[in-house]
Amino acid sequence: MILATVALVGTAPAASGSVVDAGPNVTLSGAGVIAADGNQTLIATWQPTTVELSVDVPSTPTTVCLRVNTSSRSRFLSCQRLVSPGVNQSVAFSVSEWPANRSGRATLVATRSRNGTVQSRTTSSVFLFSPDGDWDDDGLDNRRERELGTKLFVADTDRDGLADGREQRTYRTDPNATDTDGDGLADGVEVNRYGTNPKQADTDGDGLADGTEVTTYGTDPTDPDTDDDGVGDSVEVNRYGTNPTKADTDEDGLADGPEVNVHNTDPLRRDTDGDGLDDGPEVNEYGTDPTAADTDGDGFADGPEVNRYGTNPTRPNAAVDGRPEPRSQTPAENALPTELLPAWVPVSGLTLFAGLLVVGFLAGVGAVLWRARHASPAVAPRSRQANGEAVPTDPAGESLGHPDAWRVIRLLEAHGGRLPQSEIVARTDWSKSKVSRVLSAMAEADQIRKIRLGRENLVARPGDEPDSARGPFEE
């Protein structure tokens, strides 16, 4: 029960000029009492209210009466006669009928009379709410507001931006709670600004509450994939750490969705495999694997192949700088290499005598040099690839071709035709023994030449040896 106590003290002229006694003290209680607002008591007129008067009774019988005055009328409520003089008595009036269908201020008047003459009068200010009225014009009548517990004199009880009537009748939200669904956005903000559901914390069902989307990430609370990159907002935030408002977080040319769903790349790294090419160009331009630094397994990362050597990063036998892969150049049987001819000796137009002298001399010298250069067991026959190029073989006839021999050749091609043997070990990450085996087999297959320089071997393609390592008749 809600109690509202008001001390009502007043005076009024008494008959024959007698001194007026102090008026009754008044206490209001019951279901009809809404609240006390300063010196004013708020009353719901359709609910019962008890008015209790505390009166000092003189030695002669006294009558106590109660009435209510409005701006338009005065209504008598009830009277009681007190027959026990000389004591303080309490009189309770049960009021169930107030002026109907009217909301507004009124005055409650309690009088004490003796022999028909008013001895004292007390007044109290009350505010009456009729059941069908809507004092705050919020769309709910006073009776319904009492049932819901909302304020009869405040249109938006919870101050969330929605009037109580709209909350209760239109959106079915709680007019006493600013944020019905607890998502961090007030009901009025959800309805009037973002178009979200004020009764559903995650309107778009993407795993992020509406308030978090708006205030933290700047995402659209009505769109599960704000940036349309193929990854839901919550997944971007909670699993991948990507930006849910930016389709390509790392700006590598691939949207975050394809990175995680198709290519298995890192949406936070432009170059997932660290090969020098961004993921987007690898997929969209070069057709390389953005998760493998060396797509074709030829010993060169995709980035250097594209940016430095101009080779095809998807073909291990692609040309370097426009030149084809090196072939083994084996002179024909019993043929005299033309490179042994001095530049000043013409091939045609020789006189018979001069020609015989020169040819005879050079044939002898060339034969000696040829035997010295090939004083190893006979080179085993070499197999051919599908493109017709020779694949280096070891003396036993086993192919050394792809990838080991070709990898060495590619390294030499990329470094001017020659490299120290230790550098080949470092660049291939092979063991020294494997490098030695591969180079020995390639030397016997005439793919390379190994030149001793102090304590180090220099590995060179035929024709790329240092001048100091060539014979007197080699250019």
For residue 419, which of 457, 455, 454, 447 has the smallest C-alpha distance?
457
The total number of residues written for the chain in this structure = 475
Other beta carbons less than 10 A from residue 467's beta carbon:
7
Encode pLDDT of 121-167 as tens digits. 888 899 999 999 999 999 999 999 999 999 998 999 999 999 999 99
Query: Which amino acid does the sequence have at 331?
Result: P
Contact 438, 334 (CB under 8 A): no
Residues of each domain in the chain carrying CATH 2.60.40.770: 3-129
Structure tokens, 467: 């001048």
Query: Which amino acid does the sequence have at 420?
Result: P
Residues of each domain in the chain carrying CATH 1.10.10.10: 379-469
Percent of residues, the chain, with pLDDT higher than 90:
45
CATH for 379-469, options being 1.10.1470.10, 3.30.1330.10, 1.10.10.10, 1.10.3720.10? 1.10.10.10
DSSP per residue, 426-452: HHHT--HHHHHHHHHHHHHTTS-EEEE
Rounded mean pLDDT of 99-110? 81
Alpha helices in 55-112 (DSSP H): none
The values of phi and psi at residue 283, to 5°, are: -80, -45
| Radius of gyration (C-alpha) of the chain in whole angstroms | 53
Class of domain 3-129 (CATH, top level): mainly beta
Query: Which amino acid does the sequence have at 273?
Result: D
CA distances from 149 to 143, 145, 169, 188, 316 (A): 10, 6, 15, 19, 80
Contact 90, 52 (CB under 8 A): yes
Question: What integer pLDDT is reported at residue 22 of this predicted model?
Answer: 58
For the chain, the average pLDDT equals 80
Query: Does pLDDT of 325 surpass 50?
Result: no
Q: Which of 162-166, 170-174, 289-293, 373-377 has the lowest mean pLDDT?
A: 373-377
Query: Which amino acid does the sequence have at 289?
Result: D
Biggest CA pair distance of the chain: 177
Question: What integer pLDDT is reported at residue 90 of this predicted model?
Answer: 85
Encode pLDDT of 19-38 as tens digits. 345 567 888 999 999 988 77
